[in-house]
Structure 1
Amino acid sequence: MTADHTIVALSTPTGIGAIGVIRLSGKDAIHIANAVFAGKDLTKQESHTLHFGLIKDGDVVIDEVVVSLFVAPKSYTKENVVEISCHGSNFIIQQIISLLIRKGAHAAKPGEFTLRAFLNGSLDLSQAEAVADLIASDSQAAHQVAMNQLRGGFSNELNELREQLIHFASMIELELDFAEEDVEFANRDQLQALITRIKVVISKLIRSFELGNVIKQGINTVIAGRPNAGKSTLLNALLNEERAIVSSIAGTTRDTIEELLNINGINFRMIDTAGIREAQDAIEVIGVEKTMEKISQSALLVYLFDAAELSVSEILSDIARLQKPGVPFVAVANKMDLVAQDAFSLALPEGVQFISISAKEKSHIEDLKDLLYEVAVGDQLTENHTMVTNIRHVEALQRTQEALAQVEQGVVNPVTSDFLAMDIKQALHYLGEITGQVTTDDLLENIFSKFCIGK
């Protein structure tokens, strides 16, 4: 995979705006920009400087611009980079890009700037993927996780493990050179201890994906319950706006309603569903089926019930029907403004969190938000906590675990050094796939094709 030509693309969002930023990267970036720039001679200017002037196509002035210079290797891509800040007219932007292409630049592919940053050693592969996550982050937590990965938190942890494995692999390779002497340079007990430590770290990283993925995508939180339990009223109270239709008529909600709720920097995808009961018509049948489908896909289930109407046996029956293994469950007693506090008591199954509220009066809504955050996130999210958010990384970690299990088996039931070395190399290969020490063109194409053009 070569990157000899100079590329160009718009790096700001398309559409009319105050400013558009056009980026060039490549060995000829400064010369190409200089050929259309009326102002200072850009080829003679220092790196990290700004220059005001005109972009001209022959004698025709296209725009007044500010040009930013980043001379290799002091740039994002470690190549010569020029950024042209022009007025944000689509016509002006297209005129400038077309002119730069006529002068020798090539239109950039999605993610090509970041691909060059990776190929030139500015970022490793997991950091490059974090760039896309950072751009897509729409909550404080998603931003924090992406920034930690971009700064190399994930890479540093993996590289430390990889270096220790490389040390043992080299010692075992040395044994192969002295096969006739039957000597061991790699201490098997120390290798066993290292494998145990690595497996603990990898298991922790794999487990972190469950939280990391929901932080990245948002936590699917389904509000379920019987008709007239107050689900739509609760959704409105949580959002602090009249988003869902509220009626005393049972079965008003026929389809699911989804809205984002941000709690302490975490996005919860709140899903209001049709009431669960024996459907009265064909449309309600579809609504109830959709409710059960959403429940099966939920990462957090909020079961809302009318504390003034349902008996304890009915509540427990609903919970038994709705509770799924591994899915956090919050039982919420609603309409507590109609119930004497000392008249309501409920012994809930293990793993079910409980809170009482009045959605209509907006009583204890903030307490419910705190409980949702505690159940979904707890204290797992800290500034320096390494978290996996990418399914590719999880799969590579799982394959690493399998390879390490083979190494461990070869230590416990001794095999020859060449077999042991082969299994360690396999583990190193999978770890290397995450950070990019091991790559293929197909892998890079798959990753960077998902980036936006201009990044």
Structure 2
Amino acid sequence: MIPSILSKDTIVALATAAGHGAIAIIRLSGPEAISILHGVFKGKNLQNQPSHTLHFGTIRDGEKILDEVVVSLFKAPSSYTKEDVVEVSCHGSPYITEQLLKLFLKKGARLAEPGEFTKRAFLNGQFDLAQAEAVADLIASDSALTHQVAMKQMRGGFSQEIKALRAQLIHFASMIELELDFSEEDVEFADRAALHRLIATLQRLISDLLQSFEMGNVLKNGVPTVIAGKPNAGKSTLLNALLNEEKAIVSDIPGTTRDVIEDEANIGGIRFRFIDTAGLRETLDKVEAIGVARTKEQLRKAALVLYLFDLSSTSPAQLQEELKTLDLPQVPYLLLGNKKDLATLQQLEAFSGFENLVVLSAGTKDGMEELQQTLLEQVNANEAITGDRTIVTNLRHFQSLKKTDDALQEVIQGLDSGLTSDWLAADIRRCLFYLGEITGEITTDDLLDNIFTKFCIGK
């Protein structure tokens, strides 16, 4: 359990986005939060009011009324930070919020550092470090799935799994540590066979979490999806159809797209980063050649490739030859037969034997729903949408889990080779250390600074 850290100073910050708006909220937290506001508030005596209450009044600087406000009162420990917290809802004028902030600073508060409210909540034991990081993910969520994953982590789903793993290891660690106290008597308190089974189980669980990071990274950062193909295959038309806007210039002139055009679209809760590229062909045009080189570079970095070809002017043999010369990297790809509205029935049937093929017309948007469903299947989105699986989205968590997995493997090797209790204990302590890094049971000031400085100031 993380000990409570009672702060001596009171912090203040704007908790809503800067700029004009109907209302703005200024948040104060710390031992003097209520008394600072009480000193400038004209209304009820805030120091005598119960927690979780709202109070209307005015904020005054001397005799000057700065604004009419509603004050939300949260008394320790029943608040976000477990300190006294007040939130001032004022009119959303940048001038008003500036004047109120200056007044609170003059009365003894200091400006909060980025993420300091959440950092105080963590230090005071409101939640663990993984949950605190999920707060930032929740704020940044821009789809149903990223919201769902962040909400589950913020409510402790991921943390509970890590703590359960750690608790099982702690039991065996204590037994092995006990053996060290009786080393001269050559006794074993920890059942080596049971420990071996436990480590194998933990490895399977951690392996599942590590594998989930690929999905988590997709959910958090979007799927880099490259649209490639010969000139005039309809790549720019497809991009526009996927984005539902005229993002790229469409022309019958080959080589119109000479640079990478990128934009995002949310499909079924997954964010796809679609990248329209220059048509793949040999060219003497220096500018177009640069575009083709950039296309090949994007293909190497893609998580998914959509290879577009014209059904009405391409034969199966030509497509096979294109794919050979393309030399697609080892990433999933879909073949998109475009311009089905211009193709004959015979031409359509000629491609029936191709796998991973979606037939569509980007111009008329016929087949777009099938394409979207196929895209979701390619990134295994169905499992993330319907399952209760824990998804790792944080690179720091992934790295700590990987170190844990490596340390567990050393424990297995030690058990197999008959390693003595002191060496086994050291390896298990390493596992506990890396798992503790995730939830913040093991932490450093540098780690906390690195995490919380990425938060917005008012959070």
**Which range, TM-score by smaller chain?**
over 0.9
2:421 matches 1:445: no
Write the mapping of 1:5-404 to structure 2, written as runs, cut at 5 A: 5-320=9-324, 321-325=326-330, 327-343=331-347, 344-346=349-351, 353-381=356-384, 382=386, 384-404=388-408
> Are 2:216 and 2:392, in contact at CA under 8 Å, matched by a contact in 1?
yes
**Residue 285 of structure 1: how far off its partner (Å):** 1.5
The separation in 1 between residues aligned to 2:448 and 2:399, in whole angstroms, is: 16
Which one-letter code corresponds to 2:329 in the other structure? K
Q: Does the Cα contact within 8 Å between 2:224 and 2:272 map onto a contact in 1?
A: yes
| Alpha-carbon distance in 2 for matches of 1:284, 1:436 | 52
- Normalising to structure 1: TM-score of the pair? 0.96
What is the alpha-carbon distance in structure 1 between the residues aligned to residue 235 and residue 194 of structure 2?
58
Deviations 1:197-241 (A, max 9, x none): 111111111111111011101111111101000111111222233
- Cα deviation digits, residues 62-83 of structure 1 (max 9, x gap): 0000000000010111111000
Partners of 2:271 and 2:107 in 1: how far apart? 46
Deviation of 1:291 (Å): 1.3
Q: Deviations over 1:423-448 (max 9, x none)?
A: 00000000000010000000000000
Q: Is the 8 A contact 1:328 1:376 kept in 2?
A: no
Distance 1:101 1:37 in 2: 15
Asked if structure 2 preserves the Cα contact closer than 8 Å seen for 1:112 and 1:448, the reply is yes
1:224-269 per-position Cα deviation (integer Å, ceiling 9, x unaligned)? 1010001111112222332221111101111222222111111111
State percent identity of aligned pairs: 57
Matches within 5 A, 1:395-414: 395-414=399-418
Matched position secondary structure for 2:246:
coil
In structure 2, how many angstroms separate the alpha carbons of the residues matched to 1:88 and 1:101? 19
Q: Is the 8 A contact 2:228 2:307 kept in 1?
A: yes
Is contact 2:299-2:328 (8 Å) kept? no
Instruction: Give 1:2 shift.
Output: 7.2
Whether contact under 8 Å (2:312, 2:344) holds in the other structure is: no
C-alpha separation in 2, matches of 1:443 and 1:330: 42
Does the Cα contact within 8 Å between 2:11 and 2:110 map onto a contact in 1? yes
Q: Which amino acid aligns with 2:350?
A: S
Over aligned residue pairs, what C-alpha RMSD do you find? 1.5
Alpha-carbon spacing, 1:141–1:310, altered in 2? closer, same or farther (3 Å): same
> What is the distance in 1 between the residues matched to 2:81 and 2:187?
47
Q: Letter of the aligned partner of 2:357 in structure 1? A: F
Work out the CA distance in 1 between the residues paired with 2:318 and 2:416.
55
Inter-partner Cα distance in structure 2 for 1:4 and 1:312: 74
1:55–1:64 CA contact under 8 A, matched in 2: yes
What's the CA shift for 1:348?
Answer: 7.0
Gaps of 5+ in 2: none
SS in 2 for 1:207: helix
> How many residues are treated as equivalent by the alignment?
452
Amino acid at match of 1:323: L
Tell me, in whole angstroms, the C-alpha distance in 2 between the residues paired with 1:195 and 1:391: 23
Q: 1:317 to 1:151 in 2, by over 3 A?
A: farther
> Please, which moves more after superposition, 436-445 or 258-267?
258-267
| 313-322 or 196-205: bigger deviation | 313-322
- Measure how far apart 1:147 and its partner are: 0.8
Distance in 2 between the 1:341 and 1:159 partners?
A: 60
After TM superposition, the score normalised by the length of structure 2 is 0.96
Contact 1:316-1:348 at 8 Å conserved across structures: no
1:254 partner amino acid: R
